[in-house]
């Protein structure tokens, strides 16, 4: 779990406008590890609701005969919320950033560099 926390801290330092990030269990929506830059963000509640949205999105993709969800993206006036599967969809990376300081393009570019690192960290966590 220390490696997952370290990766989230790295994202906190690298992603412009980072407000919060968490690894969330996909079935129940429970937060396993989190880090925040904004104390007024309720990351656990946000992550749990994102897991509900992810389940509905998966149903829509199944209706279209699409195999899997790559990233669920929510954009509001103030925030970009990304929920991305790690560890074969058993767990998800949930990330909230400020739209004032970041763009979807830069956030997804940074996350693409971290994808393999999160996968490895999840494997290490399961092995311990």
Domain spans, the chain: 2-127
Beta-carbon contacts of 47 under 8 Å, excluding residues fewer than 6 positions away, are 22, 24, 29, 31, 34, 83, 92, 94
d(CA 1, CA 16): 24
Rounded to two decimals, the pTM is: 0.89
> Each residue of 101-112: pLDDT tens digit?
999 999 999 999
Residue 22 pLDDT more than 90? yes
Summarize the confidence of residues 44-58 as an average pLDDT: 88
d(CA 53, CA 28): 12
Summarize the confidence of residues 32-39 as an average pLDDT: 94
- Contact between 71 and 82 (Cβ < 8 Å): yes
128, containing H or E segment: none
The proportion of the chain whose per-residue pLDDT surpasses 70, expressed as a percent, equals 96
What is the dotted CATH code of the domain comprising 2-127?
3.30.450.30
Q: Which pLDDT value is given to residue 16?
A: 96
Summarize the confidence of residues 111-128 as an average pLDDT: 83
């Amino acid at each position: 779990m220390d490696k997952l926390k370290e990766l989230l801290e790295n994202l906190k330092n690298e992603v412009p406008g980072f407000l919060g990030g968490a690894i969330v269990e996909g079935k129940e929506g429970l937060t396993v590890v989190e880090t925040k830059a904004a104390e007024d963000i309720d990351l656990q509640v946000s992550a749990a609701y994102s897991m509900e949205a992810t389940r509905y999105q998966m149903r829509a993709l199944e209706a279209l005969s699409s195999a899997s969800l790559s990233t669920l993206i929510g954009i509001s006036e103030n925030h970009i919320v990304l929920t991305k599967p790690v560890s074969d969809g058993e767990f998800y990376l949930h990330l909230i950033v400020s739209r004032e300081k970041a763009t979807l393009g830069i956030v997804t570019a940074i996350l693409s560099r971290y994808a393999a690192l999160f996968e490895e960290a999840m494997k290490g966590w399961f092995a311990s």
